Chain A
Amino acid sequence: MKHRILRTALTGVVLASTGVIAAATNASADGLGATKLTTVNFVYDFPGPDMELIPIVVGQDQGFYTKAGISVKTLFPASTSSTSAMLATGAGDVGFITTSDMADAVQAKVPLLSIANYSMTNNWTIFAKPGSKLTAADLKGKKIFSWGDTWTNTMMSFVLKHAGLSANQVTIVTASNDTPLLMNGKIDFDTSTTNYAVPAIQGADKGATPVMFTGSQIGVPNIPIWVYAVTKAYAAAHPATAKAFLSATLAATKWAIANPAAAVNDFVKMYPTSGYTKAYSTTGWSLTIPLLKNSSGKFFTQTSAQWSTLDQGLIATKQIKTAPAPTTYYTNAFVPAQ
């Protein structure tokens, strides 16, 4: 009996203490959460993380987003062509897509709006194996790798038109990985952007630099590749959040440029199982940095000229019939002052 009373009393004390601790924890949590963060679902353009995500990672890890009153949650699409659809269905708020994805979205009457450029120049390139004697004039009859995404399809149309070739005069090869195919001679040319392909080829061939053909050599316009996009409805309903997102992302981008090693460390810390080596991400990020500013040193700012150049190219290569007004694609209204 004595034991039972003691046990009941002990249980009461334990329960009471638990209640007090829980109440105290809630109170302190309420205190900390005084400034409620607005969640922004950011949809990347690839099913997994890679070094182009560094500005977002730095924004999260270095507290730039928290300071701006937002909490950014990164989502990865099921495929490289799902980001626009995720935005359109409301699964994401801000997306990372190519300018050609934007053109396709506008053609399909999907109400997307580009709110900032990520990169300012076109580093899409045709690569040949290190030491290869092939030139840009040797495309006819060759096997050319493509990821099958809209940007590569668009750029290949420019390349073929410039080379005076039809689609059936080359063999377009699509596979899950390009570098092993190039290094093993299964393809003659690879297509990718310098910041992705160069570190991959260097990693596969003891630092050797591939043979590269780019820009006017292959007839591709120098226009931005990647943009941050939202739906028109999101832009109208959450202008302050869109502004806060870009403002914090700009601060994070500048920080990542000034501290490239620390920025890569942040990426490796947040995504230790991304599948990319630190050396790959370091080289990739160093090759991404020069793409982020325009010739006036400005980040993010879009121009009507970039969109009309893309449209003209798409019309010339018969990918679209009519060009919408450039302002259909973009707004600089949310870009922070620089």
Chain B
Amino acid sequence: MTTRRLLKAVLGPIVSLIAVVAIWQAIVVWGHVPSYIAPRPLAAWQAITQNWSTLWPLTSWTIKETVYGFFAGVVFGIAFGVVMAKVPFLAKTVYPVLIMSQAIPIVALALPLVLILGFSLMPKVVIVAWIVFFPVTVNVLDGLHNVDKDLLTLSQVLGASKWRTFVVIEIPGAITPLFSGLKIGATYAVTGAIIAELAASSGSSLALYQHAQAGQLNAAGVYGTTILMTAIGMGWFLLTLGAEYLCTPWRRRSVARRKWRGARTISAVSL
């Protein structure tokens, strides 16, 4: 990507971020909103920087819950999606249960999880994974169901094994929908981590810190924590976006890079 194109891509989000902060400042200043109801953006920022030594360990813990839970959810989501796509009977049987799993309020799930798994990282990882796996499963399932039928027929005609067809045709065909699921999961993962922290925590956590700030009517602390939580969610989403960029080169160029062409040709021949 050229510097000019990169600048073009980054400029839009930066301008919208500045606009949000400006609107926030204007509402608080012109609306004469008391500082215990809503702080100015700078005060919220200072609530982060001045308490960074307290906030960083809590933030890194929340990141850990988010990342571990996300990957656990992705692994389960892809596994469910693939198995359900390959075994239609299982899909018919399991799909309603998966939908049901998403109708269970996460908060109601928290206490039994704590009773079974204790206060460690595990119940939080389970809650995040619970939220993440569903969009991944649904998208993988849709992706595998919508692979180009002509390509599948061609591979059959060329005598490709089921495994080879799966690796060379079906997986690449499901990658775009998979990343749609991953992006939804990435945004919800941090929400899941915060809900899990509120539902049951041992020691302190970002969610409990925010709760304590709210109790002390420290609006700057509450908003500052919210900014941190948002940053975790946005950061994780951007990383997923980056992974999508790297994993789907065909969306940017129709012809493979010269150095990869040999390998592709071999793959195609060995079909």
A180 within 8 A of partner (CB): yes
Contacts of B217 in A (CB 8 A): 84-85, 88, 104-105, 108, 110
Interface size of B by CB at 8 A reads: 26
| B128, CB-defined interface residue at 8 Å | no
Given A89-B37, A143-B119, A175-B199, A150 and B216 contact (CB-CB distance below 8 Å):
yes
User: Known contacts A79-B211, A88-B34: does B199 contact A176 (CB below 8 Å)?
Assistant: yes
The answer on a CB contact under 8 Å between A88 and B119 is: no
Given A88-B36, A175-B111, A180-B111, is A104 in contact with B119 using a C-beta cutoff of 8 Å?
A: no
Of B80-88, B201-209, B233-241, the one contacting chain A is: B201-209
Q: Report B87-124 residues with CB < 8 Å from chain A CB.
A: 107, 110-111, 114-115, 118-119
Could you say which of A79, A104, A176, A180 contacts B216, with CB atoms under 8 Å apart?
A104
Whether A184 and B115, one on each chain, are in contact in the complex, defined by CB atoms closer than 8 angstroms, is yes
- Chain B residue numbers with a CB within 8 Å of A222 are none
Smallest Cβ-Cβ distance to B197: which chain A residue? A174
Q: Which residue of B lies closest to A80 (CB)?
A: B215
Of the candidates A108, A172, A175, which one forms a contact with B114 in the assembled complex, judged by CB atoms under 8 Å apart? A175
Tell me the smallest distance from the CB of B204 to a CB of chain A, in Å. 8
Are A173 and B215 also in contact (CB < 8 A) when A85-B37, A89-B37 are?
Answer: no
* Whole-angstrom CA separation of A173 from B119 in the bound complex: 8
- B224 to nearest A CB, angstroms? 15
> In the complex, what residue of chain B is closest to A170 when comparing beta carbons?
B203
Q: Which of B114, B204, B212 is in CB contact (< 8 Å) with A181?
A: B114
CB-based contact A81/B200 at 8 Å: no
Q: Which residues of the other chain, A, contact B79 by a CB distance below 8 angstroms?
A: none
Q: Which residues of chain A are near B198, meaning CB under 8 Å?
A: 176
CB distance from A77 to the nearest CB of B (A): 11
Which residue of chain A has its CB nearest to the CB of B204? A172
Which residues of the other chain, A, contact B114 by a CB distance below 8 angstroms?
175, 181, 186
Return the CB mask of A32-53 against B: 1 if under 8 Å, else 0: 0000000000000000000000
Partner of A88, one of B37, B115, B212, B214: B37
Interface string of A165-196 (1 = CB under 8 A from B): 00000011111110011001010000000000
Indicate whether B218 reaches chain A with its CB closer than 8 angstroms. yes
Contact in complex: A171, B37 (CB < 8 Å): no
Minimum Cβ distance to chain B for residue A317 (Å): 14
Distance of A282 from chain B, by nearest CB (Å): 25
A251 to chain B, nearest CB (A): 32
**Candidates B115, B203, B215; contact of A171 at CB < 8 Å:** B203
Chain A residues whose CB sits within 8 angstroms of the CB of B218 once the complex forms = 108
Whether A109 is near chain B, meaning CB under 8 Å from some CB there, is: yes
Q: Within the complex, what minimum Cβ distance (angstroms) separates B161 from chain A?
A: 51
Asked if A309 is at the interface of the complex by the 8 Å CB criterion, the answer is no
Tell me the nearest residue of chain B to A83, going by C-beta.
Answer: B215
Decide: A143 and B202 in contact? CB cutoff 8 A: yes
Interface hub of B34, B36, B218 (most chain A Cβ within 10 A): B36
Chain A's nearest CB lies how many Å from the CB of B33? 10
A85–B204 alpha-carbon span in the complex (Å): 23
Instruction: Say yes or no: is A82 at the interface (Cβ < 8 Å to chain B).
Output: yes
A324: Cβ under 8 A from any B Cβ: no
Chain B residues contacting A150 (CB-CB under 8 Å) are 212, 215-216
**How many residues in A have their beta carbons less than 8 Å from beta carbons of B?**
31
A85 to B33, CA, bound (A): 13
Q: Which residue of B lies closest to A85 (CB)?
A: B217
Interface residues of A in 93-120 (CB under 8 A from B): 101, 104-105, 107-110
A110 and B111 form a contact (CB under 8 A): no
A107 to B216 CA separation, bound complex (whole angstroms): 8
Q: Are A149 and B215 in contact (CB under 8 A)?
A: yes
Complex Cα gap A172–B34 (Å):
33
Q: Is there a chain B Cβ closer than 8 Å to A207's Cβ?
A: no
Q: Mark B35-65, 1 if CB is under 8 A from A, else 0.
A: 1110000000000000000000000000000
**A148 located at the interface, meaning its Cβ lies under 8 Å from any Cβ of chain B in the complex:** yes
Convert A52-95 into 0s and 1s, putting 1 for each residue whose CB lies closer than 8 angstroms to a CB of B.
Answer: 00000000000000000000000000011110110011000000
State whether B202 touches A173 (Cβ < 8 A): yes
Which residues 145-177 of A have a CB within 8 angstroms of B?
148-150, 153, 171-177
Q: Mark B173-207, 1 if CB is under 8 A from A, else 0.
A: 00000000000000000000000001111111000
A64 to B115, CA, bound (A): 45
Instruction: Give the residues in chain A near B202, CB-CB below 8 Å.
Output: 143, 171-174
B114, B198, B212 pick with most chain A CB within 10 angstroms? B114
- Contact with B111, one of A101, A109, A177 (Cβ below 8 angstroms): A177
List, in ascending order, chain A residues with CB within 8 A of B214's CB.
79, 81-82, 85
Binding site for B on A (CB under 8 A): 79-82, 84-85, 88-89, 101, 104-105, 107-110, 143, 148-150, 153, 171-177, 180-181, 184, 186
7 of the cross-chain contacts (CB-CB < 8 Å) are A81-B214, A110-B34, A171-B119, A172-B202, A173-B200, A176-B111, A177-B111
Contacts beyond the supplied A101-B215, A108-B217, A172-B204: 13 A-B pairs with Cβ under 8 Å? A85-B36, A85-B217, A89-B37, A105-B217, A108-B36, A109-B36, A143-B119, A148-B215, A172-B202, A172-B203, A173-B119, A174-B200, A180-B111
